[in-house]
Amino acid sequence: MKNLLIFLTVNDFSMPLFLTENIKNDIHIDFCLLSEKNENIVRKINSKKFNYIYIRDPFTDERITHKEVILKVETIIKNKNNSYMVDGIDKMEYIFFEDKWSQYLLFSDVMPKTGLVNKNLSLKKGENYIFKKRISSRGRGISFSLDGIQCKKSSCIYQKRLDIKKEYRVFILFGKIVEIVAVKSSKTENTKIKVVGKKKISKKLCNFIGTFSDRIKFDFVGIDIAEDGKGCFYVLEINRSCLFNAFYNQTGVNLAESFVRELLKK
């Protein structure tokens, strides 16, 4: 039986879906926190021959600096032996992919107008913007005014606020779009984002994803897409370490099982 080592964050609420009987029958999985000491990480990697290593941590824990993250990822890469690195994370430029500003530089043609927040920021009157932390925070830390930002402004981006009609979470597994998409409620001043339903992906939405999906180099991603009142689509963000427990609750589809089936072909 092949072995998979997953590095995760304590806030990965989708992790129990990797522990089903179906998965246990196909692959043996061990877990390790990226916040562990380097020597513990090396010991874990060398505890057995791992066929696959999956770093699911999105690096959103502000108690760990970017420098520490880089050192730990470099430690994993150095000691990975012949393990297949899920998402190609042996390329260091990928590790902070959840940075929304970096995403905008790569996907500006399909995203709402986005910019960096700084002390000299001057926004046009009559235009509405939403303010977000650059590094994904699972829907937290969103503000609808510049004065309402609760964190360091230098760590935020502003994004043109859309007239959102519908919002979707679309998953891509090893280059294949999952046919069922999660329908999400949009974030407002008084409500949180949550999955409220499901639907089969439309041809129009599928075609839209096809305009940029070749730029996504990862094995498993969740893409948040908004549809405005005119029927136009916009990418809000792409999550490399996406949560999918709410999707499972709505659909009964366990993407962890689909992920493992495809991974075993590698």
Band of residue 137 on the pLDDT scale cut at 50, 70, 90: low
**Does residue 190 register a pLDDT over 60?**
no
Specify whether the CB–CB gap between 170 and 207 falls below 8 A: no
Q: Does the structure show a pLDDT above 70 at 188?
A: no
* Per-residue pLDDT at 221 exceeds 80: yes
Interatomic CA distance for residues 250 and 45, integer angstroms: 35
Do 129 and 159 contact (CB within 8 A), yes or no? yes
Q: Are 55 and 76 in contact (CB under 8 A)?
A: yes
Q: Using CA atoms, how far apart are residues 27 and 4, in angstroms rounded to an integer?
A: 7
What pLDDT score was predicted for residue 101?
93
Average pLDDT along the chain: 89
Query: How much is the average pLDDT of 79-98?
Result: 88
Structure tokens belonging to residue 170: 């679309």
Q: Which of 115-129, 131-145, 203-217, 243-257 has the lowest mean pLDDT?
A: 131-145
Token pair for 199: 């639907």
* pLDDT surpassing 90 at residue 143: no
Q: How many residues does the chain have?
A: 266
Statement: residue 192 has pLDDT above 70: no
Name which of 221, 208, 215 is nearest 174 in CA terms: 221
Q: Which residue has the higher pLDDT, 97 or 51?
A: 51
Give mean pLDDT, residues 106-126: 85
Question: What domains can be seen in the chain, in order of their start residue?
Answer: 2-96 (3.40.50.1110), 114-160 (no CATH), 162-257 (3.30.470.20)
Of 22-31, 92-101, 108-117, the one with minimum mean pLDDT is 92-101
Nearest-angstrom CA–CA distance, 17 and 171: 16
Token duo for residue 223: 């893409």
Mean pLDDT of 104-117: 95
- Which runs of consecutive H residues, i.e. helices, occur in the chain? 21-26, 38-45, 66-79, 100-107, 203-210, 245-251, 255-263
Helices and strands (H and E) in the chain: how many: 7, 13
DSSP letter (8 states) at residue 256: H
Put simply, whether the predicted model's pTM sits higher than 0.85 gets the answer: yes
pLDDT on residue 62: 72
Sign of CA dihedral 135, 199, 255, 250: positive
- Pairwise CA distance, residues 128 & 218, whole Å: 33
Write the CA distances from 76 to 34, 50, 56, 80, 186, integer angstroms: 10, 12, 13, 6, 37
- More confident of the two residues 65 and 104: 104
d(CA 189, CA 228): 18
pLDDT of amino acid 140: 63
Q: Which of 18, 59, 85 is nearest to 259 (CA)?
A: 18
State the Cα angle at 10 between 61 and 219, rounded to 5°. 85
